[in-house]
Structure 1
Amino acid sequence: MKDLFEAHDALAVAELIRGRKVGVREVLDASLNRLRAVNDKLNAITDFYDGELLEKSVAAAGDGPFHGIPFVVKQLMADCAGTPTTVGSRFFAKEPVAANDSAAVARMRRAGLVIVGRSNTSEFGLAPTTEPAFGGATVNPWRADLSPGGSSGGSAAVVAARALPMAHATDGGGSIRIPASLCGLFGLKPSRGRISLAPIGETLAGAGAQLCVSISVRDSAALLDAVAGGEPGDPYRAPEAEGSFREATRRAPGRLRIAFLRKPVGWQSMDPALVAAVERTAKRLEVLGHHVEEAMPDYDPAATGAAFGTVMCANTFTNIQVRANGRVPGPHDLEPVTRLYAEKGRGISAHDYIRAVQTFHRTGRQLGAFFERFDILLSPTIARTSLPLGTVRMDGSLEEYEEGLAPMVAFTSVCNAAGVPAMSVPLEGTEDGLPIGLHFVARYGAEATLFSLAAQLEQAHPWRDRRPGGVT
């Protein structure tokens, strides 16, 4: 039982449970023991459920495809009844306590998942690393001096360490895909409106999304099947998929038209190791029968980035006000960059905010035109090969923070602005053995195409046996 998730993904373990080869309690106890041991080294889990709270999680788990599988939910964008969602902040460590599960969490429970705790995140998910002042830094299992990325770094670290086969993750500018890349995992950000964010609002003008990081493509696909769909009154709803996403992993993607990038849009160059990783992947795709050529979408990255800044600042200020319910943050309740973002957000006019949202929409139309010519856009997931702890600072100036942020979101954030699906696939590595994720983007609503391609690549170039060896 100790090494159960070393050899099995979540669906495989659920099948063992259904076949009575292992018991739910047996899996749960072994997983919690493994998680606690791993967490002593990684600092990835902020809260473990035990006692009555754990028993409620066991009782709430339905008889779905993941029946009996332990699961952690990130401390951001998702509520679990009876506990606070801290958003990685000291100010919200104890309140408000959620009265109910958020819509996606309720669906996760119905799918059979047993929620056993909450995973670490950067404060308000603002940083592409997971080093909050409240709770401390999460360590990358591949090397103790590296960050697992963020803001879903807690979830990614425990999955990379094979303490769980998958874990909840959210993505407002790359926060599923960035840690997936740095931790050697599969991570897909769904289309805008594919998964309801109820009861919260649209989240970053529609840029926010959630799903998971996982060791297998089919686990992510099956989870999306379980949680996809809207709630009454949702501001966005993605088009209905043709068949299930898990079914998409079982069929060939056909001959896709794939464009690739040697550098981010608007940049002059990129690390040669990342260029080589893209070129090798492009050749693999050609061998698999796809049409591959170099091409760059036409959008204004500076305008999109500025729009993101406006939306993030305004949302940070507003979310603090709403969640605080009249409480006022003290001088040490928020990290310096969070406070600076909130102060900047306080002064943003309705005119500026609307212009930012319009920029998001214009960017979406520009990418939409690009995907009339191509099915997929390939690049690295991030414009770095690793992320040493302390690289992205939340305790300095906005200029320092944004300098650290830029290479982390150079490929990912435009997908959030446009609302299109994108995934990081762990196909490559550095000379010293660290994982490199390759980024694949598709047109709005085309998650099935991404899953089909990912499953084809997973079969042709398996990655599950590539695991960190040092920290855990």
Structure 2
Amino acid sequence: MRFDEYRAHDAVGLAALVATGEVTVGELLDAAAARMAEVNPKINAVTRDMTDIARAQLPFSGPSASGPLAGVPYLLKDLGSHWGGIPTTFGSRLFADAPAAADSSMTRLYRTAGLNIFGKTNTPEFGIWPVTESDLLGACRNPWNLSLTPGGSSGGAAAAVSAGIVPAAHATDGGGSIRIPAACCGLFGLKPSRGRVSFAPAGEGWAGASIPHAVTRSVRDSAVLLDATCAPQAGDPYFLAPPERPYAQEVGRDPGKLRIGFTDKALTLGAALDPEVAEAVRDAARLCESLGHLVEPAELPGDHAAMQAAARTILWASVAASIDAECERRGRPLADGEIESATHGIYRRGKATSGPEYVRAVQVVHAYGRAAAQVFERCDVFLLATLGRPAIPLGHLFEDPKLTVERLFGFMPNTQAFNNSGQPAMTVPLAWSSGGLPIGIQFVAPMGDESTLFRLAGQLEATRPWFDRVPSL
């Protein structure tokens, strides 16, 4: 199968070719592996090649395939979902030689859907940063411009999809880690509601802020993947009621006349949007208005600064707990050089966090979620920028430690809010900078209402298509 034929299809389209016998699963895997061999040395998106494992486990071909995505090549992020017997490194030397005890539920559900997993993708250490530049796995590069970041923490996933290695890839989002790289790489990225997708066998990530899903080129791929994975697992600490109908059936349905509130400002105090990004938000608002929606300015309630401080406390304590748990499992303390220096600072802060401080932080985050939900008393959807600016240069966050926090929230002022409110949020590649870089536009819905987002995304995709807009590398 030629690359141009392979890239012309999304995951649903490739599965249809397998189901009708036009291609075999092996031919799709060959196409994906060939593209990986061609471009991965340039972008460092795939950090563990599992092609031999995938070939050895090929269970089907042609019309005998089963599952909605049977035979489609797929990649796991090296964080958030385990493949039994293979290390999940979390981008850290600490976990580089620690094989996973068993598959995660997400991995099992992907296999049930028929996906052919053949590798793992790059991620920053413990998924902490919105760029993908770990000491262990190396810097991942943006296919649109190799001097820029693809975002993070699912930067490897987004770079692999954007570069055409796969049409969709597993991702997780604890502060924007699906939406940030999707926006940097010109992809569709949906963060589901808290409780929509299980983290089993783990309980939750970052007090419920983190949620797994995917980055995709098409809206329908995201919907089909969510249908395949939104099944509650035994012992989940919380879960949502199932959707009224499969999400795949929402894509293409008329969203009706939505009340859309929007802001062209940054949520983080002191941050400002790049002028091109702010104009892209206003353009998206006009686009929605032209589609018949009622669009008007709105503000997101809640103490954003207090939420960010509380989320920081939760992150510190969570990272410290993960490190201590691994040291306890292996029976020896943390050694010098096993985690990065910035992570070591976070570890120290986490160790110094008291139980009452952690509980209070969770309470602050929950209070923020209640306040943020008030915007939906007069809006069906909230529209704002995904990022403060297009993709930033590699190394930009860390070249001056005194500026790291300022640059961090200048880049990602608007995503963390919805991890901590728990609401579903998506980024849609509706705009491009004067330099030809993607600009993502973010849409948020009430808790549990991914269906409205999929209907709106399908309408936007049909009106302003992006599927064929790809980097040349």
- What interval of TM-score do these two structures reach, taking the shorter chain for normalisation? over 0.9
The answer on whether the counterparts of 2:418 and 2:425 sit within 8 Å (CA) in structure 1 is yes
Distance in structure 1 (CA, Å) of the matches to 2:278 and 2:406: 21
- Map 1:12-411; keep pairs closer than 5 Å: 12-51=13-52, 53-55=53-55, 57-59=57-59, 63-95=66-98, 97-265=99-267, 266-267=269-270, 269-324=272-327, 325=329, 326-393=331-398, 397=401, 399-411=402-414
The answer on whether the counterparts of 1:195 and 1:227 sit within 8 Å (CA) in structure 2 is yes
Higher mean C-alpha displacement, 57-66 vs 193-202: 57-66
Q: Which runs of 4+ in 1 moved over 3 A?
A: 59-62, 266-269
| Aligned equivalent of 2:469 | 466
Amino acid at match of 1:10: A
Provide, for residues 188-238 of structure 1, a one-character-per-residue CA deviation record: whole Å limited to 9, x for no partner: 000001000001121100001011101000000000000002111211202
Distance in structure 1 (CA, Å) of the matches to 2:271 and 2:77: 36
Amino acid at match of 1:71: Y
Q: CA separation of 1:409/1:327 partners in 2, compared to 1, >3 Å: closer, same or farther?
A: farther
Provide, for residues 21-71 of structure 1, a one-character-per-residue CA deviation record: whole Å limited to 9, x for no partner: 1111111112111112111111111101143x3245434997211100010
Deviation (angstroms), 1:408:
3.2
Distance in structure 2 (CA, Å) of the matches to 1:328 and 1:274: 46
Q: CA separation of 1:55/1:404 partners in 2, compared to 1, >3 Å: closer, same or farther?
A: same
Amino acid at match of 1:73: L
Distance in structure 2 (CA, Å) of the matches to 1:354 and 1:319: 18
Distance in structure 2 (CA, Å) of the matches to 1:225 and 1:32: 27
Amino acid at match of 1:27: L
Q: CA separation of 1:308/1:5 partners in 2, compared to 1, >3 Å: closer, same or farther?
A: farther
Matched residue pairs, number? 466
2:439 aligned with 1:436, yes or no?
yes
Amino acid at match of 1:221: A
The answer on whether the counterparts of 1:74 and 1:152 sit within 8 Å (CA) in structure 2 is yes
Distance in structure 1 (CA, Å) of the matches to 2:408 and 2:232: 32
Distance in structure 1 (CA, Å) of the matches to 2:359 and 2:339: 27
Identity score, percent = 45
The answer on whether the counterparts of 1:336 and 1:396 sit within 8 Å (CA) in structure 2 is no
Distance in structure 2 (CA, Å) of the matches to 1:99 and 1:186: 32
Distance in structure 1 (CA, Å) of the matches to 2:187 and 2:6: 14
Distance in structure 2 (CA, Å) of the matches to 1:335 and 1:5: 39
Distance in structure 1 (CA, Å) of the matches to 2:343 and 2:439: 29
Cα root mean square deviation, aligned = 1.5
The answer on whether the counterparts of 1:256 and 1:375 sit within 8 Å (CA) in structure 2 is yes
Output the TM-score relative to the length of structure 2: 0.96
In the alignment, structure 1 segments of 5+ residues that lack a partner are none
Provide, for residues 392-447 of structure 1, a one-character-per-residue CA deviation record: whole Å limited to 9, x for no partner: 22x874x5432232123311101000111000100001011110000011100000
The answer on whether the counterparts of 2:33 and 2:51 sit within 8 Å (CA) in structure 1 is no
